[in-house]
Amino acid sequence: MTSVLRLASAICCLWLCSVVCVVQSGSRDTDDAIWLLESKMMATSNSSSQLLMVPLTLIQGAASKGAVCLDGTLPGYHLHRGFGSGANRWLIQLEGGGWCNTRRNCIFRKTTRRGSSNHMEKVLAFTGILSNKANENPDFYNWNRVKLRYCDGASFTGDSEDQSSQLYYRGQRIWQVAMEELLSKGMQKADQALLSGCSAGGLASILHCDKFKELLPGTTKVKCLSDAGMFMDAVDVSGGHSLRNMFQGVVTVQNLQKELSTTCTKHLDPTSCFFPQNLVSEIKTPMFLLNAAYDAWQVQESLAPPSADRSGSWKACKSDHSHCNSSQIQFFQDFRSQMVSAVKSFSASTHNGLFINSCFAHCQSERQDTWFAPDSPRLYGKTVAESVGDWYFDRKTVKSIDCPYPCDKTCHDLTF
């Protein structure tokens, strides 16, 4: 089993590296490489009888409500039914996959699974927090588990269109019709529910957390989990703001201003209100933040993207932190400090939870090796799965923040 987990991690690393390359170069050759790597991931999944493969369901009534992917195709989800004590419990996992911040990016995205259900996998492996095995997912294995596919390019928030380019920015409507469908399939009877998401989906779980609670009966226990969704408004290695520039493009292209938190936009600009650090403290529903302090995606795309590293002096370091010099490590330490500072107010709430480990990782709830396995990352002796479970079921208060790198020897770091 350990070798299988390591293989999956290696494939995940290759996939993330390729995604980074696409954002950096936009090259069709690199995009073809991503398609090949993802095909290999699916082939590896299908070759293992250990993995639960769950079929894609398209939301048939969505088009009449304008709830469509970037290219106008139907949105979809994967649902595996709960059983036993979990029959009336629901876990909704919002898929991640970056954003499109220019019309050109969004047009290309229509040709991928991130913008069209025509290109989505017909089956997906459910692992980590979606696993149906008690020895892999002790607290949620028998819940109704759903993965909502991501095809709008703005973390399920847009509600506009670009007729000249035939682009449909309808993430908000996709969210609404998906929730309506799941409510009709039994979620309205849920006694417990968890809205979760990874990366762009982790940001979406923050943006939609309170709305999710409002959909369900007042007697339902509702909480939210954001995995790798704590994207920081940080300065890059050149002194610029690469991620802010990207988010500003997303907000502008998809006209998100009217969809963002009005509490936030009353005192901050719309782009700032797409950053979680300006949102998490105002969320009323209990929330858990799971994040690597040196988030691998942010290292690649926010802190040291090629546009900020013209000389290439950060290339080796950002690919493998063991190649960083002392000043580069200090730059990462400053980023960690900014993240820890950003969650102080959030952490003060007794209802909220934290697991911030000093790893160079990304999306630790979806990978089996980082969610719950013999050698999984741990804080205070607890795995990610155990920590999330303790918090959700109120077994313990979980406010786990790791000591700075390199003290944690349990990390499953990503290298490129």
Nearest to 200 by CA among 155, 230, 161: 155
Q: Is 139 a catalytic residue?
A: no
How far, in Å, CA of 137 to CA of 325, rounded? 38
Q: Is 199 a catalytic residue?
A: yes
* Strand 399-401 with 353-357, pairing: parallel
Q: Which of 45, 196, 199, 358 is catalytic?
A: 199
Sign of the alpha-carbon torsion through 343, 347, 351, 357 = positive
Phi, psi of 234 (to 5 degrees): -105, 160
How far, in Å, CA of 136 to CA of 198, rounded? 18
Phi, psi of 383 (to 5 degrees): -75, 170
Residue for token pair 């050759």: 29
For residue 368 the two structure tokens come to 């089996």
Q: How many CB atoms lie within 10 A of CB 242?
A: 22
The one-letter amino acid code at 356 reads I
Per DSSP, the residues of 157-176 read ---EEEGGGTEEE-HHHHHH
How far, in Å, CA of 260 to CA of 251, rounded? 9
Q: Which of 80, 208, 362, 412 is catalytic?
A: 362
Q: Is 3 a catalytic residue?
A: no
How far, in Å, CA of 364 to CA of 9, rounded? 11
For residue 17 the two structure tokens come to 């590296």
Q: Which of 295, 309, 369, 402 is catalytic?
A: 295
Do 385 and 139 form a contact (C-beta atoms < 8 A)? Answer: yes
Report how far apart, in Å, the C-alpha atoms of 157 and of each of 60, 169, 220, 255 are. Answer: 21, 8, 25, 10
First to last CA, the chain: 24
Residues, the chain: 416
Burial of 265 (0-12, 13-18, 19+ CB in 10 A): middle
Indicate the DSSP class of residue 237: T
How far, in Å, CA of 152 to CA of 401, rounded? 33
- Catalytically active residues, by annotation: 199, 295, 362
